[in-house]
Amino acid sequence: MTKQEARKIAAARVVKMSDAEKEWASGAVTDALTSLEIFRKCKKPFVFMSAPNEPDTHEIIGLLLALEKTVSVPRVRGDEMDAVIITPYSNFRVNKWGISEPVGGMCTAECDLAVVPLVAFDGLKRAGHGKGYYDKFLAAHPDCKKVGIAFACQRTEGLETETHDILLDVVVTEKEIIPAPCVSVENMFGGED
């Protein structure tokens, strides 16, 4: 299945979700993500700012800021995407895709955890929006843990990838956590270190 076909199928499934289903699923994704050891131990996370048909990342970002992590979020600049450090007092504007971006702020090249959006996925393979921003970003940060979050209905079968596509280390949905075989992802949901 091509990425374009996968995007179309996954997007149609998300559109069928009610607002209440999306809200519940977003909360479950947040709970699952924040239970992961790689989330709790990160120091310099990069987290995408969610669009309306994606799991809501505002609570995730707020939690990371409350934990006093050095949080960065994307800001698009032409064909590139910068990681911009934010604080609880950062100002945002909406870009041409309807996604919030920070106004001002310092760019960073440091990232130990990247939480990225998935338009569609098949295991650890992802299809994004098709602009290549996240593949370029992840290629520039090979040592960071790469976590994709999505609704379970965005899973497709037989997704074709290209040589420049970056595989994820973990995919988190409201129904499951899919780790790469070589990645230790200890789920400490409700537990202590």
CATH number at residue 123: 3.40.50.10420
**Average pLDDT over the chain, rounded to whole?**
90
* Residue 3 in this model has a pLDDT that exceeds 70: yes
Contacts 24+ apart (CB under 8 A), 2-9: 2/160, 3/120, 3/127, 3/130, 3/159, 3/160, 3/161, 4/130, 6/119, 6/120, 6/122, 6/127, 6/156, 6/159, 7/119, 7/120, 7/127, 7/129, 7/130, 9/120, 9/156
Q: Does a structural domain hold residue 152? A: yes
Q: Does a structural domain hold residue 133? A: yes
Q: Does a structural domain hold residue 122? A: yes
Q: Does a structural domain hold residue 166? A: yes
Structural domain of 104: 3-179
Distance of alpha carbon 87 from its chain centroid, rounded?
A: 19
pTM of the entire structure? 0.90
Q: Does a structural domain hold residue 190? A: no
